[in-house]
């Protein structure tokens, strides 16, 4: 599911990616939670040039916190980036 979700992100279909990744993240998969959070992260959305999708800091942070809780080491770095000015 994570591979499929990441493929959907790369292809620009964030709505479908969110559905796929949410299912995996809800089963306590750290990588899925991290990827799901990234679909709401303004920094990542800018990098993806996903202009049709509004960022949501609260949702991104919540999924990054869950990813951290599930064992992701990258999640803490993403949380720090969100808290920076302009992040």
Domain range enclosing 52? 2-83
CATH code at 30? 1.25.40
**Selection from 38, 41, 52 nearest residue 9 by Cα:** 38
Number of domains in the chain: 1
Residue 1: pLDDT band (50, 70, 90) is confident
Residue with tokens 């992260």: 41
| Model confidence pLDDT, tens digit, residues 33-44 | 999 999 999 999
With b meaning 16 or more CB within 10 Å and e meaning fewer, what string describes 5-20? Answer: bbebbeeeebeebbeb
What integer is the mean pLDDT of 52-65? 94
Classified as helix, coil or strand, 38 is: helix
State the average pLDDT for the chain: 93
Region of residue 49 (phi > 0: left; psi between -120 and 50: alpha; otherwise: beta) = left
């Amino acid at each position: 599911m994570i591979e499929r979700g990441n493929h959907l992100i790369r292809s620009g279909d964030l709505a479908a990616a969110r559905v796929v990744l949410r299912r995996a993240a809800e089963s306590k998969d750290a990588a899925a939670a991290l990827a799901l959070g990234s679909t709401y992260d303004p920094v990542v959305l800018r990098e993806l040039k996903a202009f049709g999708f509004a960022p949501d800091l609260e949702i991104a942070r919540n999924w990054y916190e869950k990813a951290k809780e599930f064992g992701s080491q990258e999640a803490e770095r993403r949380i720090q980036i969100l808290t920076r000015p302009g992040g």
